[in-house]
Structure 1
Amino acid sequence: MTSNQIFANARLILPDDVIRGSLIVRDGAIVDMDQGSSIPKGAIDCQDQFLAPGLIELHTDNLERHMQPRPKVDWPHKAAIVAHDRELAGTGITTVFDAIRAGSIISENSKRRFGKYARSMADEILEMRDAGVLKISHHIHLRAEICSETLEEELNEFGPADKIGIVSLMDHTPGQRQFRDLQKFEDYVCGKNGLSRDGFGDYVEFLYGLQEQFGAKHEAAAVAAANRYGATLASHDDTTALQVDHSRDRGVSIAEFPTTLEAADACYAAGIATIMGAPNLVRGGSHSGNVAAGDLAQRNRLDILSSDYVPAALLQGALRLATIWDDMPAGIATVTRNPAKSVGLSDRGSLEIGNRADLILFGKIEDTPILSAVWSQGKRVA
């Protein structure tokens, strides 16, 4: 018989309450809970720390950071996946949707080329996941780059068997959305990617040409692909109410990082869940001058947090929300229950009998989490 794991003397963060109690796990699932501070023989003494569901990350650039630790450095992908997996486990993330770019710029006349990698990278992630060498639960999130040359053919390399979780509509054409300010776009591409400022104007004109030639076609292809895969469809960097209306009409149910209060209000009215970056919340504002996540939280316009480019920000951001709202379960829900619900994962995201035993144990100093341990399906991973 499989023995029980007992987590005792914990502050259990339930969907609507925080209670002192114990939790019992068997075969990787939660099988019972009880109130009280007793510590049965053989139990894990949680020492009055918080016990919460494992964190769920829907959009992270962290894998790309491991793939390319420096400009023009292509790190071995399997090593990058393992490093990414271990880093996320160490920050309390037990389910991740790995964001992979689909849509490349490969023509010789481009000032900045992006090679194809989506299919091969997805194959490596799925191979390693199926081999059981990854510590946490990995899913695929395809970032569909509308302003590219190869999006449609890359999307056609995937199908329902790949179980793609999310397709997000990414339009990084300069002059709109995140890059409304052309000077900020110039600083971004020249500073981060080494593009000569002398060639910046030509590059912008090249991108405008791609948008004119492929924009509508690529967007339609991405929407159709999401439907074909059975994936959740997300928008990205909505700025205006008109853009949100456009997203809603195409079946978008998640809005990643709306850049203005106008867009966030429109998402709320349309019933579209809003994702904001935890680094934005932790820092007190957007690093690129967009709307502050804290302002949206104050207006009840924030549903889900994403660690974006700082994995450790996810739990810290949730605790910041718990303070803003004076509601620990609501803050934790933005990184557990809400993201799970938004992508149809009904077996995780809350401490409930029958759910996966994806768990984190932590204390805190003010809004700063002190993570003690992490379990994925009852197996300790950090």
Structure 2
Amino acid sequence: MDMQAPAETVLSNARIVLDGEVMTGAVRMQGREIADVSPGAARGEDMGGDLLIPGLIELHTDNLERHIQPRPRVNWPHDAAILAHDGELASVGITTVFDAMRVGSVPSEHGGYEAYARGLASELMQLRAANALKISHFLHLRAEVCSATLADELAQFGPEDRVGIVSLMDHTPGQRQFRDMSKLKAYVQGKRSLTEAQWQEHVANLKALREANGAAHEAATVAAAGRFGAVLASHDDTTEAHVATSAGYGIRLAEFPTTQEAARACKAHGIAVMMGAPNLIRGGSHSGNVAAQALAEADLLDIVSSDYVPSALLTSAFRLARMWDDLPRAIACVTATPAKATGLTDRGRIAPGMKADMVRVTMLGDTPVVRAVWSQGRRVA
């Protein structure tokens, strides 16, 4: 695949979404970087008055897992799955992704799951080294403390693996995301077709694993994030006590707090709040937790993630723009703010010296439509 960006590209007659304003003008790219942003007319590729926004930055997506296992117990060839995932993200305007991979497995006859992250990460890095990918990929290790093998799996990764985020997860039944056991039962039995006896065994097994390993796994996760140089995130904080524990670990990013109480506590501790785009678009959480719209209306929402629907990231930004009547602020939730939260100082904004990651968007009523995508100066969609 040709990874070379053109020596120079000028995109003119665009409505450019900048920090705090939308300016009609032109963007000049030289190689992989933005060289100049100027108001008014300029010679170049005519954008026809369409919006030009920074490339979207996705911090938490399960999309790669969906590609490697498109149906329960159906495993897809990994190279093909990674390439399809990469192409799908590029097509919806995502130019940087932190691919979520679970670490921490649960060996069990019923309801268990095996380790996979180390092998999949190596395959992803091999494709990146072969210049086969369209967009920038980092790793997001989802560390499940309620498991049997978390510490051993974390030990298989190092600073060379581009681990950008480690999220501290605890899916012990009866708390956090699945405080409502009926919601958890419906989710697990629908996904795995467990009998009642198998369901009871599954719950008892997970609770026993948390009791035996939880404290040691939390400590191993915090230490691993430091070893990788990665951002440490919390997951499904529900109470002020959860948030206080997160703050004590040095966490500055909260994934999907489940209550407004927890989101407010995050704000008090200087922890950025990230919510899922499907929650925002559907008007509520599929698990019965706090609605992302309620947090946005209360000024408690900082970052949006596509979670399990890649195209939802762009759609959610424009939903927020209508809610807040502020397009630059909404676009920042999927560009500049996630870049800042993960220490990526070279992207997330349209400005000289930044990576030439941009998306051309036109509107079909209230629906944003991607017309073109550039990743580091190359047209990829």
TM-score > 0.5 by shorter chain: yes
Distance 2:373 2:292 in 1: 27
Residue equivalent to 1:338: 337
Instruction: Give 1:3 deviation, angstroms.
Output: 3.9
Residue equivalent to 1:28: 32
Residue equivalent to 1:84: 85
Distance 2:291 2:187 in 1: 20
> AA paired with 1:97?
F
> AA paired with 1:26?
Q
> AA paired with 2:68?
M
Residue equivalent to 2:363: 364
> AA paired with 2:31?
D
Residue equivalent to 2:187: 188
Instruction: Give 1:159 deviation, angstroms.
Output: 1.2
Residue equivalent to 1:153: 152
Instruction: Give 1:195 deviation, angstroms.
Output: 1.8
Distance 2:201 2:54 in 1: 49
Residue equivalent to 2:373: 374
**SS in structure 2 opposite 1:233?**
strand
Instruction: Give 1:366 deviation, angstroms.
Output: 4.0
Q: Does 1:295 align with 2:291?
A: no
Residue equivalent to 1:46: 47
Distance 1:233 1:284 in 2: 28
Retained in 2: the 8 A contact 1:177–1:259? Answer: yes
Retained in 2: the 8 A contact 1:285–1:291? Answer: yes
Alignment of 1:114-263 (within 5 A): 114-263=113-262
Identity within the alignment, %: 57
> AA paired with 2:23?
I
Distance 1:224 1:3 in 2: 43
Distance 2:278 2:7 in 1: 40
**How many pairs align?**
376
**SS in structure 2 opposite 1:30?**
strand
Following superposition, which runs of at least 4 residues in structure 1 exceed 3 angstroms of deviation?
none
Retained in 2: the 8 A contact 1:163–1:230? Answer: no
Q: Deviations over 1:68-87 (max 9, x none)?
A: 10000111111110010000
Retained in 2: the 8 A contact 1:24–1:32? Answer: yes
Q: Deviations over 1:234-269 (max 9, x none)?
A: 000111111010111011110000011001010111
Residue equivalent to 2:3: none
Q: Deviations over 1:324-365 (max 9, x none)?
A: 111110000000000000000000000010000000000113
Distance 2:299 2:177 in 1: 22
Instruction: Give 1:165 deviation, angstroms.
Output: 0.3
Residue equivalent to 1:9: 13
Q: Does 1:269 align with 2:268?
A: yes
**SS in structure 2 opposite 1:265?**
helix
Distance 1:348 1:193 in 2: 40
Distance 1:113 1:199 in 2: 11
Distance 1:91 1:314 in 2: 8
Give the TM-score, by structure 1 length.
0.97
Q: Does 1:97 align with 2:95?
A: no
**SS in structure 1 opposite 2:194?**
coil
Deviates more, 1:280-289 or 1:329-338: 280-289
Q: Deviations over 1:72-121 (max 9, x none)?
A: 011111111001000000000000000011011124xx421211111111
- Structure 1: give runs of 5+ residues left out of the alignment: none
Distance 1:221 1:319 in 2: 39
Retained in 1: the 8 A contact 2:178–2:287? Answer: no
Instruction: Give 1:188 deviation, angstroms.
Output: 0.8
> AA paired with 1:321?
L
- Structure 2: give runs of 5+ residues left out of the alignment: 1-5
Distance 2:72 2:111 in 1: 12
Distance 1:196 1:367 in 2: 44
Instruction: Give 1:370 deviation, angstroms.
Output: 1.1
Distance 1:308 1:362 in 2: 21
Instruction: Give 1:39 deviation, angstroms.
Output: 4.4
Instruction: Give 1:367 deviation, angstroms.
Output: 3.1
Instruction: Give 1:300 deviation, angstroms.
Output: 0.7
Q: Deviations over 1:3-32 (max 9, x none)?
A: 420000000000111010000000111001
Give the TM-score, by structure 2 length.
0.97
Q: Deviations over 1:269-313 (max 9, x none)?
A: 110000000111111111221111111001110000000010000
Instruction: Give 1:378 deviation, angstroms.
Output: 1.0
**SS in structure 2 opposite 1:112?**
coil
Distance 1:74 1:367 in 2: 37
